[in-house]
Chains A and B, each alone.
Chain A
Amino acid sequence: MKQDLKTFQGKGEAIVNYQINIVRAWIPVLLSCTLIAQPGFAEDKDHAEKPAVWVPNKLSDGQPDVQGFWRPANQGTYSLVNPRNGQDGKPDKDGKIPKRPVKPSRIIDPADGQVPYQPWARAKQQHVQANFNNPVSQEFIDPQARCFPGGVSRQQWWHNTEIRQYPNYVVIIGDADRRIIPLDGRPHIPGNIKLWMSDSRGHWEGNTLIVDVTNSNAKHRLSNEGDFSSDSVHIQERFTFLDANTYQYQATYEDPRVYTRPWTVSSKQVRANTDEPDFEAWEYACIEGEKNTDNYITEKIVSQ
């Protein structure tokens, strides 16, 4: 009925129980967080827009009531441009590598589906990507694999999220991160404060929650492929609720230090746990179960 406890006991626990060489083999899988069982890729309508005819129930402060558990229709933080739920599988006995199904790029603007990096930034991203499977030093380990907060947009397609609404607030709870989004029009915090999950200010326009995001510490990555921004990034999010069970998430990244132009990611989100009306999200305890992510480093493993 409720989520399997073992699933929630933190991937770190799982890691330390394996032999180190097995850990190594499983790193890409763990990084993409497939331990949380998810239904397979749902029908891909990531880029479809429906006319906003849905009339939601309203909460006492006038917000559309969109509370509950949501999941990305296409789950997986492995890649922005070739979204898939984890890396390709291990070779079978005939040496064939099972390929994960790849979905269209999450990037809807620009039209080529690529992050419009400046040349130096593209080189940096590719350097991290090239070392992802064989991390020889600390900086190649995705911070997400250490149970660090996933960042604002990555939270949307990492695991399920729960939206809770209270007067003047939207709260989004993920497994290893949470966002408190005030709706009262207050100014952002001072610019020198940088946060893993940034600073969010929201307001509703009809059925669309628009969130202005600043103060990112930019230490998280946007995918396992080394996608990144600087801590000057400014993100505009749009949560457009299309009906009682669907919303379209979009985030536009603007960061003149890293990109040549603004760009936009998009992800369809659908209701989760619909067959379990009394579903409760239980304690995840990610960092608490983590023993030592330094063991991800390949050289260290080889030397042991």
Chain B
Amino acid sequence: MRIINRNKDKQTFERSSYASAFKQLSGAAIFVASVTLVGCGAPHIKGQDNVATTTADILRTADGKPDLSGIWQTLSTADWDLEPHQARKDAPPGLGVVVGNVIPYQPWALEQKKKNFDNRAELDPRRKYVMPGIPRANYTPEPFQIFQSDKQLTFIYEFGQTVRTIHANDTKHPEGHIDWWIGDSRGHWEGDTLVVDVTHFNDQTWFDRSGNFHSDALHVVERYKPIGPDHIQYEAVIEDPKVFTKPWTISLTLYRHKEKDFQLLENYGFTFDYEKFYP
């Protein structure tokens, strides 16, 4: 069904029918990317400064799509705080992953966020090891594994019981609203980018340990763009008209685990308090 082409072998790549189509597309893609950058009006797009679009280095499946299979993890401190922050007792420092640095809260929601922050040690849903929601699952500081087929991608996260299917078979979201912890994910490919529309969320998860939050009106559009064999530039546009004044974007890099025989373990942390009863 699928083989991994290591397209560093340029000859292999050139022979594939996808290669010629890609050449035509790449010029357009660069143009679109430039327009996007200008259109955002953001002189500094986090995480994208050193994005060399060396598409020849991307691993590809037999049908020419980028192959996202592998075990990935963020090196950012996004899970502690999406926004730029200095070191504090309960968080390592970070430049932040929010494009434009500031999350555009409605006034009431900013007050709520501050309350959440003040009580973060008790209120962060993460401490109960529930599923962290999307996009937070992707920058939880633990690895996750992507398995890819032509109809669907399976994301298995080490943290909690989180298993996620991204349906990539032209199906639509089920009718709703449905309160799900990690929502309903439907994906498609735009060139070398996997674009995933995620909806049907509950209001029970936070974006980070700093109390950044959302309502059940959350809608996330994710973009997974490989920028080499071992890196994915991950972007998520976050929209929630009940909480924010406008959509906002996070951007961060996912790194492939290269250690020999690396694998996911388990973190069913909700069992910790009870394990003493089952020696």
Chain A residues contacting B270 (CB-CB under 8 Å) are 147-148, 287
Cβ of A294 to closest chain B Cβ, rounded Å: 9
Chain A residues contacting B148 (CB-CB under 8 Å) are 166
Chain A residues contacting B174 (CB-CB under 8 Å) are 2, 282
Given A282-B174, A287-B270, 16 new contacts (CB under 8 A): A138-B274, A143-B278, A166-B69, A176-B161, A178-B163, A182-B263, A187-B261, A189-B263, A219-B275, A219-B278, A220-B278, A281-B165, A284-B161, A285-B131, A286-B161, A287-B160
B95 in the interface, Cβ–Cβ < 8 Å? no
Among candidates A169, A281, A285, residue contacting B147 with C-beta atoms closer than 8 Å: A169
B264 in the interface, Cβ–Cβ < 8 Å? yes
Dominant secondary structure at the B interface: loop
B154 and A164 contact, CB distance less than 8 A: yes
Stretch at the interface among A29-37, A111-119, A191-199, A246-254: A191-199
B3 in the interface, Cβ–Cβ < 8 Å? yes
Among candidates A59, A146, A286, residue contacting B274 with C-beta atoms closer than 8 Å: A146
Dominant secondary structure at the A interface: loop
B161 and A139 contact, CB distance less than 8 A: no
Q: How far is the CA of A189 from the CA of B261 in the complex (A)?
A: 9
B263 and A283 contact, CB distance less than 8 A: no
Would you give the 0/1 interface string for B156-168, flagging 1 where the beta carbon is closer than 8 Å to chain A? 1000110101010
Q: How far is the CA of A280 from the CA of B182 in the complex (A)?
A: 15
B4 in the interface, Cβ–Cβ < 8 Å? yes
A171 and B181 contact, CB distance less than 8 A: no
- Once A and B bind, how many residue pairs between them come within 8 Å at the CB atom? 96
Chain B residues contacting A189 (CB-CB under 8 Å) are 263, 265
| 8 A Cβ contacts from A135-157 to B | 138-139, 141, 143, 146-149
B189 in the interface, Cβ–Cβ < 8 Å? no
A186 in the interface, Cβ–Cβ < 8 Å? yes
B261 and A287 contact, CB distance less than 8 A: no
Q: How far is the CA of A196 from the CA of B275 in the complex (A)?
A: 11
Chain B residues contacting A187 (CB-CB under 8 Å) are 261
| 8 A Cβ contacts from B159-189 to A | 160-161, 163, 165, 167, 171, 174, 178, 180-182, 184
A283 and B182 contact, CB distance less than 8 A: yes
- Please judge, given known A-B contacts A148-B271, A196-B266, whether A171 and B180 are in contact too, CB under 8 Å: no
Cβ of A91 to closest chain B Cβ, rounded Å: 31
A177 in the interface, Cβ–Cβ < 8 Å? yes
Chain A residues contacting B184 (CB-CB under 8 Å) are 282
B129 in the interface, Cβ–Cβ < 8 Å? yes
Q: How far is the CA of A286 from the CA of B162 in the complex (A)?
A: 11
Chain A residues contacting B163 (CB-CB under 8 Å) are 173, 178
Indicate the member of B147, B174, B181, B268 with the most A CB atoms within 10 Å.
Answer: B268
B266 and A195 contact, CB distance less than 8 A: yes
